[in-house]
A = this chain, B = another copy of it.
Amino acid sequence: MAAQPDIPMRQRVEEYISKLQDDIVSALEKLDPNAPTFKRDSWLRAQGGRGLSCVFAVPVPPPGVAQQETVLEKAGVNISVVHGMLPPPAIKQMRADHSSIPDIQSSVPFFAAGISLVIHPRNPHAPTVHANYRYFEITETPTEEEQAAGKSGKVIAWWFGGGGDLTPSYLYEEDAIHFHRTLKAACDPHGAAVYPTFKKWCDEYFHITHRGEARGIGGIFFDDLCEDPHRRFAPDDSRPKTAEDIFAFVKAAGDAFVPSYVPILERRMRTPSDDHERRWQLLRRGRYVEFNLVYDRGTKFGLMTPGARIESILMSLPETARWEYMSELGTDPESREGKLVEVLKNPREWV
């Protein structure tokens, strides 16, 4: 891939995530042409930056009118591009994973751009999916010349993070294999160590510790990917190392989202289902809420950030979730529910 040294990475990332958001929303809208379109909701951040949330929800009908049947129940495909000043404690914390960040005692400018999506389909046989790709940059305070030219300061440190993972209520092995195989095919050209490393990281990250089970059947997860040595890779592992290589990998993973998920959704979205299956789906959505509110770093960080846009952060929560005390669903290992739980307790290699 040819480098574009004259266009700053932050701008290229912003363009890429905008296009990816468009592609994903279009693919989902095409799938269910009679459903309401995604609501486009753009916002500005007072402290610097902007976002575009594309959210799907079916309006609650007036009394006596049945709810429209749609493929999706609730979905959000959001991008945000924010910048501001990073205080010294935050910098200190980041130095653990980024040896290139100097030990600075004053606030420094940061830039963050990312796409984040969660799709909860209505049908209990169709899995929920989540994906998220982001770029982070710390710069020097711009010189007077740079400021006059509308430019940011010299980049001190940068990294990419992200991933995608699938959360079914009922296990269809061919779906799990398709999802992992598509992600692996996107990763492999960027280094043999990429998929195995990020697949393992995903299983570890999306873990509901208090339940002793994974949130779903995994996918890939990565963070802190830059030119520095990386704690998850051995020095001679084959993986993207330059900014160009890493951005190319992130784009390949992002581009793999639609082919990794939409064929599964098409396959399952019309499967006949009953109240029992819906109940189990809502119990699994309860676990989704537990993971997102108790463990997810992005959600926790978002909720603790003054001025953060709560509606965008909690967009990931399902429309409805359910909790039963000592539910019998999923406890029989021979049941269809139990077969999912077995895989969540013992993550598998799918490809």
Q: How far is the CB of A211 from chain B (nearest CB, A)?
A: 7
**Which of B76, B286, B289 is within 8 Å of A325, CB to CB?**
B76
CA distance A275 to B66 in the complex (A): 12
Q: How far is the CA of A274 from the CA of B39 in the complex (A)?
A: 27
Alpha-carbon distance A177/B192, docked complex (angstroms): 67
A57 at the interface (CB under 8 A from B): yes
Please state if B325 and A322 are interface contacts (CB–CB under 8 Å): no
A55 within 8 A of B: yes
Q: How close is A252's CB to chain B, nearest CB, in angstroms?
A: 30
Residues of B within 8 A of A290 (CB): 293, 314
Contacts of A53 in B (CB 8 A): 325
Q: Which of B63, B76, B322, B326 contacts A320 (CB 8 A)?
A: B322
Question: Is A343 close to B, CB under 8 A?
Answer: no
Taking A210-B303, A317-B286 as contacts, is the C-beta distance between A324 and B57 under 8 angstroms?
yes
Interface assignment of A315: CB less than 8 Å from any CB of chain B: yes
Quick one: copies of this chain in the complex?
2
Q: A319 near B318 (CB under 8 angstroms)?
A: no
* Contact across chains for B311 and A315 when beta carbons are under 8 A apart: no
Q: Which residues of B contact A41 (CB under 8 A)?
A: 326
Cβ-based interface call for A19 (8 A): no
Closest to A316 in B: B323
The CA of A41 and the CA of B314, in the complex, are separated in Å by 35
A83 CB-CB contact with B under 8 Å: no
Separation of A122 and B55 alpha carbons in the complex (Å)? 30
Contacts of A149 in B (CB 8 A): none
Return chain B residues, CB-CB under 8 Å to A55. 325-326
For window 174-222 of A, CB contacts with B under 8 Å fall at: 209-211
Residues of chain B with a CB closer than 8 A to A211's CB: 310
**A339 proximal to B (CB < 8 A):** no
Q: Is the CB of A315 within 8 A of B325?
A: yes
Q: Which residues of B contact A311 (CB under 8 A)?
A: 325-326
For A53, the closest partner residue in chain B by CB is: B325
For the complex formed, measure the closest distance between the CB of A215 and the CB atoms of chain B, giving whole angstroms: 14
Q: Flag if B325 contacts A63 (CB, 8 Å).
A: no
> Is A125's CB within 8 Å of the partner chain B?
no
A282 within 8 A of B: yes
- Which 3 A-B pairs rank lowest in CB-CB distance, beginning with the nearest? A293-B293, A317-B323, A210-B303
Chain A residues within CB distance 8 Å of chain B? 39, 41, 53, 55, 57, 60, 63, 74, 76, 209-211, 274-276, 279, 282, 286, 289-290, 293-294, 300, 303-304, 308, 310-311, 313-315, 317-326
